[in-house]
Amino acid sequence: MREVTVGIGGAAGDGLDKTGDTLAKTAARLGLYVYAYNSYQSVIRGGHIWLRVRIGEKKLTSHGDHVNVLIALNQDSIERHAREVESGGAIIYNSDKLKLDPTLLRDNVLPVPLPVSTITKPFGKVPPVMQNTVALGALLFLIGLDFETAASVLTDTFKHKGQAVIDQNVAIARAGYDYAKEHFVPLGYTWTFTHVRRPFITGNEAFAIGAVTAGCKFYSAYPMTPASSILHWMAAHAERCGIVVKQCEDELAVVNMAIGAGYAGVRAMCGTSGGGFALMTEAIGQAGMIEAPVVVIEVQRGGPSTGLPTKTEQGDLNQVFGASQGDYPRVIIAPGDVADCFAAAVEAFNLAEKYQLPVILMSDLLLSEHPETIEPDALRYDVPIERGELVTEWDESQGKYKRYAFTRSGVSPRALPGTEGAAHVAATDDHDEEGILISDVFTCPPVRRKIHEKRMRKLEAVLRELPPPTLEGPEDAEVTLIGWGSTKGVIREAIEKLAQEGIRANHLHIKYLFPFHAREVAEILRRCRKTICVEANYSGQFARYLRAETGISVDAHIRKYDGEPFEPRYIVERVKAILEGASHTLDVTEDEAREIAYHYIRTHLDDDARPGRISRLERDGFEEPIWDVEIISRETGQTRGRLFIGVETGSTYHWQPAELVS
Amino acid sequence: MATVIELPIEVYAGPVDPDWCPGCGDFGVLKAVKMAAGKLGIKPKDLVIISGIGCSSNLPGFIHAYGVHSLHGRAVAVAQGIKLANHDLHVVVTGGDGDGYGIGIGHFIHAMRRNIDITYVVMNNQIYGLTTGQASPTTMKDVRTKSTPRGNAEPPINPIALALVSGATYVARGFSGEPEHLAQLIAGGIAHRGFALIDVFSPCVTYNKVNTYPWFKQRIYKLEEEPGYDPSDVMAALQRSFEWGDRIPIGLFYRDEQPIYEDSEPALRKGPLVHHPLRPERAVFEELIEELM
Ligand SMILES: Cc1ncc(C[n+]2csc(CCOP(=O)(O)OP(=O)(O)O)c2C)c(N)n1
Ligand code: SF4
């Protein structure tokens, strides 16, 4: 076996992150590849958190779509995820507190009950989160990872807490490991450990490190998930890296401060999510008008409004394109993977300064928050730094310095405040070559025409500089999957899976959204047999953009907007259905009915209830067919009642307690 | 201390003449800003004037210095970014009451709370000039304007009191009818280490028919001339800030030396950010990567 996916389920506050992180770093130090994804909620305690750590010998580009080993930290997690564990896998749980109902298991899944209080007895009184450390130890044994490497990770993780804490953690993990060794047989994973050291890093960390490496000296933000971890990284490293990090009063201040800093000559960046970006839009147009370089990161989450604070989506394309009134030059880049986030940040600063315009980096929760191992050389020290044309002094005998001199390239050499002889006003009202306003008193239509053309002309050079997208995979494929931004990895994996099933597919990934290589893309698309646009939003915002730019309508769409990222199998199934000509239904599936029932239980019933048998009934009294979900007691397994869920609308029509049923 | 070489105000002569209505109070403010810079001997290359949008906010276009004529209400935010990028520059914000106390009030309060070293001159004409005469946040109660034909229902903001309680460390009020006095106040504000507010009565002769030059001339008096007035006493300043009626104080309400925001930024200890080398040291970069392993 060459890869394993470990799922860790629990509530916020159960300490899943640390467990997942230790596991991931252990695998990474052994030279394996890791891709993790944390499906979490906007609560500090409670809720349901579902973290997956996928480990493999080859580069992984998504968190996949299966679970081999489940570590369940609470009863809810056993019930929700036990049935997902594939044959040959295992379920690790604290048998002092939790029960595993064997009917939830697929064939050949190993229950691994851990009597945590007995195992930890020799260590005296230990805090409840230590159950995770015991489970981690057992897991390492079951999946064949090296204990000493895990001990080195724990040592580094708890370094700041002192030797006693390190020793306790290592000893308890060891106890879990030994207990498993004594009572269970390993699951049969044999690995080749290369011990190649690779960074384990999230997209947001890659943005931040890329920015700092490129010379970013000013970062401003107002906290907003999923962009906040850029702020946290920047703040934690500000002193060492010599950056000014400013948490401002709102996003209006954030972007305007960054523009001020950019105007004054430092490389400045700010970051936010959709709602914050909405507030920034007027200022982004201002940066275009006064030709101030600034980098803005927009990390999308589910919208509209405050939407899904902790869930992913690619639904802000229209907003980012529509940001600010009027036409103005700007660059929009959507990096496709974590390594690309680093490179895109570097590139963004160079474009922003060379062309003196705002550069928007679009990401989303999936890309920004999931960690993965990347190749060490993806993070380079000696990145190119290009500042564009700067006027460092101006002798007025040359004539007056014109900040917005009309040039063929559209770029006018920039003078920073403090420069002798080049004083000028950067005006957000439209202005002439010197910066003098051309509205009101000095209205001059031809000057307006020429300066507008000057500004917009920069985009021609930008487009020439950006590499056009290319088709990856076989030229003569049956289907072409088109995606942008964070879907790059999952589409790639879906294509591999399709190939295994005899379907030849290729991939057109778009990274540079604006300016757009319309001619090149149109040429590629014209040669494709069947085009399918994959994007994480409801209305197909990218497909629409593609049509506007190339005149080409894609043949079909795969869309997702439930807040969870695409998984390879989801794309594979949809591609197959499209090829077969099956029509797509939006009906609530059985799995979804179960999730809806869980939601109903959480909001209306008590902890003891969980969904049991589910059957589909034809419409009887309700306007649509319904899912009839039996709700049973966790303790006794007895029926507590029935919940009727609409197949078409998802409405929770009716809750019928058991007393009334029989 | 280095001796200051004063500069004549002609040094700051702007590229174009102001487009304000004849008699607009903003002329006096423009003159006072130039006089203040001249008194302090600030070279045009080291002076940055940032404004928002409004008649008053056109000021940077009429003076020879660096400047940003930014968005309505955002000047104070842009100015802070400039100051943090290059704290060797003298950063002065000039704008209107609508710009600063209306749409921009959040930035105004937070900048004062930070005590960042910028000087904010508000041309307070108690009306929106550029948009042709609507009520502003400082329009007095019951005054009729284009947008309040039945009389303004809202009592005005008190910028002096607001500044005092928000942490500004230099709080003054001037009158554009007295440019010499105003220039003193602005120069004091620029020289002051910390956030300085100079609220200026700057009559709009076109749209404000209530708060006119004669209206102010009849009422204003100078705090410096008040026996025993102590500008280091914040409670006394607060008390005077509520004076509004037959007697209205101008002058320096309050001044205090406090640490400025820039002092709290370790990165700024090595001089202005704009002069720092762009690349981090290789050792630092390697540490950052090592943390991820
Ligand atoms: C976001 C936005 N809203 C509204 C306006 C229109 N606007 C321009 S100036 C102004 C008010 C100016 O009043 P004030 O700041 O008091 O300056 P004055 O013209 O009186 O000097 C308004 C509302 C704008 N430019 N931007
Ligand atoms: S409208 Fe009022 S504020 Fe504007 S220029 Fe004229 S007098 Fe001055």
pLDDT at site A619: 84
A239-265 mean pLDDT = 98
Query: Are the C-beta atoms of A473 and A42 separated by less than 8 Å?
Result: no
Confidence of residue A620 (pLDDT cuts 50, 70, 90): confident
Residue B55: CB within 6 Å of ligand 2?
A: yes
Beta bridge partners of A507: A472, A481
Q: Which of A136, A15, A159, A131 is nearest to A69 (CA)?
A: A136
Query: Are the C-beta atoms of A172 and A134 separated by less than 8 Å?
Result: yes
pLDDT at site A439: 81
Residue where the block lists tokens 């990934």: A509
| Cβ–Cβ below 8 Å for B71 and A199 | no
Give the residues of chain B that fall short of pLDDT 70: 1-2
pLDDT at site A47: 78
Among B278, B285, B292, the residue with its CB nearest the CB of A267 is: B278
* C-alpha of A443 from chain center: 47
Query: Are the C-beta atoms of B173 and B25 separated by less than 8 Å?
Result: no
pLDDT at site A442: 78
Average pLDDT of chain A to the nearest whole number: 95
- The rounded Å distance from CA B206 to ligand 2 centre is 6
Q: Give how far B123 is from chain A: nearest CA, Å.
A: 19
**Is pLDDT at A662 greater than 70 in this prediction?**
no
Q: Which atom of ligand 1 lies at the shortest distance from residue B96's CA?
A: 15
Residue where the block lists tokens 């507590």: A640
| Cβ–Cβ below 8 Å for A417 and B279 | no
How many angstroms separate the CA atoms of B13 and B60, rounded? 11
pLDDT at site A398: 87
Contacts of the segment A122-129: beta carbons below 8 A, 24+ positions apart:
A122/A175, A123/A168, A123/A171, A123/A172, A123/A175, A126/A168, A126/A172, A129/A14, A129/A15, A129/A18
How many angstroms separate the CA atoms of A83 and A89, rounded? 11
C-alpha neighbours within 13 Å on the C-beta side of residue A451: 25
How many angstroms separate the CA atoms of A397 and A547, rounded? 52
Token pair in block for residue A597: 């029932």
pLDDT at site A354: 98
Q: Which residues contact A35 (CB under 8 A, 6 or more apart)?
A: A53, A54, A60, A61, A62, A63, A64, A370, A372, A373, A489
Residues composing chain A? 662
Measured in degrees and rounded to the nearest 5, phi and psi for residue A17 equal -55, -50
- The rounded Å distance from CA B97 to ligand 1 centre is 9
- B-contacting residues in A 114-173 (Cβ below 8 Å): none
Tens digit of pLDDT for each residue in A123-141? 999 998 999 999 999 999 9
Q: Which of B244, B210, B215 is nearest to B126 (CA)?
A: B210
Confidence of residue A441 (pLDDT cuts 50, 70, 90): confident
Using a pLDDT cut of 90, give the percent of chain A over it. 91
Q: Which residues contact B64 (CB under 8 A, 6 or more apart)?
A: A423, B11, B12, B13, B14, B15, B44
A vs B, Cβ pairs < 8 A, gives 204
Residue B54: CB within 6 Å of ligand 1?
A: yes
Is residue B253 helix, strand or coil? strand
**Is pLDDT at A33 greater than 60 in this prediction?**
yes
What Cα–Cα distance (Å) separates residue B196 from each residue in A555, B29, B36, B76, B119? 62, 16, 14, 12, 5
User: How many CB atoms within 10 Å of residue A384?
Assistant: 9
Residue B129: CB within 6 Å of ligand 2?
A: yes
Residues of chain B neighbouring A238 (CB-CB closer than 8 A): 266-267
pLDDT at site A15: 85
Residue B97: CB within 6 Å of ligand 2?
A: no
Q: Which residues contact B204 (CB under 8 A, 6 or more apart)?
A: B24, B25, B55, B125, B126, B127, B129, B133
Q: Is A218's Cβ below 8 Å from some Cβ in B?
A: yes
pLDDT at site A43: 66
Residue B135: CB within 6 Å of ligand 1?
A: no
pLDDT at site A44: 67
Query: Are the C-beta atoms of B221 and B247 separated by less than 8 Å?
Result: yes
How many angstroms separate the CA atoms of A115 and A589, rounded? 37
Among A241, A261, A268, the residue with its CB nearest the CB of B284 is: A241
Residues of chain A neighbouring B60 (CB-CB closer than 8 A): 425
How many angstroms separate the CA atoms of A556 and A568, rounded? 17
Tens digit of pLDDT for each residue in A50-81? 999 999 999 999 999 999 999 999 998 998 89
- The rounded Å distance from CA A268 to ligand 2 centre is 36
Query: Are the C-beta atoms of A194 and A219 separated by less than 8 Å?
Result: no
Q: Give how far B218 is from chain A: nearest CA, Å.
A: 35
A530-549 mean pLDDT = 98
Contacts of the segment A578-587: beta carbons below 8 A, 24+ positions apart:
A578/A479, A578/A530, A578/A532, A579/A478, A579/A479, A579/A503, A579/A530, A586/A648, A587/A647, A587/A648
- The rounded Å distance from CA B246 to ligand 1 centre is 30
A177-204 mean pLDDT = 96
- Report the alpha-carbon angle A350-B293-A22, nearest 5: 130
Q: Which atom of ligand 2 lies at the shortest distance from residue B96's CA?
A: 3
How many angstroms separate the CA atoms of B24 and B217, rounded? 15
Confidence of residue A484 (pLDDT cuts 50, 70, 90): very high
Least confident of A203-207, A604-608, B121-125: A604-608
**Is pLDDT at A163 greater than 90 in this prediction?**
yes
In terms of Cβ atoms closer than 10 Å to its own Cβ (0-12, 13-18, 19+), residue A186 is middle
The answer to whether the Cα torsion of A567, A75, A97, A12 is positive or negative is: positive
ipTM: 0.98
Q: Which residue has the higher pLDDT, A620 or A517?
A: A517
pLDDT at site A334: 98
Tens digit of pLDDT for each residue in A319-358? 999 999 999 999 999 999 999 999 999 999 999 999 999 9
| Strand B119-124, strand A479-484: pairing | unpaired
Residues of chain B neighbouring A218 (CB-CB closer than 8 A): 81, 84-85, 273
Q: Is A533's Cβ below 8 Å from some Cβ in B?
A: no
Q: Which residue has the higher pLDDT, A104 or A191?
A: A191
Residue B18: CB within 6 Å of ligand 2?
A: no
How many angstroms separate the CA atoms of B119 and B95, rounded? 11
Q: Please name the residue whose Cα sits nearest to atom 1 of ligand 2.
A: B129
What Cα–Cα distance (Å) separates residue A513 from each residue in A333, A335, B139? 6, 10, 47
Residue B21: CB within 6 Å of ligand 2?
A: yes
* Helix-strand-coil split of chain B, %, nearest 5: 40, 15, 45
Q: Which residues contact A502 (CB under 8 A, 6 or more apart)?
A: none
Query: Are the C-beta atoms of A341 and A489 separated by less than 8 Å?
Result: no
| Cβ–Cβ below 8 Å for B74 and A268 | no
pLDDT at site A211: 98
Q: Please name the residue whose Cα sits nearest to atom 23 of ligand 1.
A: B131
Measured in degrees and rounded to the nearest 5, phi and psi for residue A250 equal -170, 175
| Cβ–Cβ below 8 Å for B84 and A436 | no
* C-alpha of A317 from chain center: 15
How many angstroms separate the CA atoms of A96 and A100, rounded? 11
Q: Which of A337, A368, A365 is nearest to A202 (CA)?
A: A368
Is residue A85 helix, strand or coil? strand
Query: Are the C-beta atoms of A376 and A384 separated by less than 8 Å?
Result: no
How many angstroms separate the CA atoms of A411 and A386, rounded? 14
Beta bridge partners of A412: none
Q: Which ligand is nearest to the CA of B124?
A: 1
pLDDT at site A41: 75
pLDDT at site A635: 85
Q: Which ligand is nearest to the CA of B18?
A: 2
Query: Are the C-beta atoms of B228 and B157 separated by less than 8 Å?
Result: no
Residue ranges of E strands in A409-461: 414-415, 425-427
pLDDT at site B239: 98
Tens digit of pLDDT for each residue in A403-420? 999 999 999 999 999 999
pLDDT at site A660: 54
Q: Which of A223, A239, A250, A230 is nearest to A295 (CA)?
A: A230
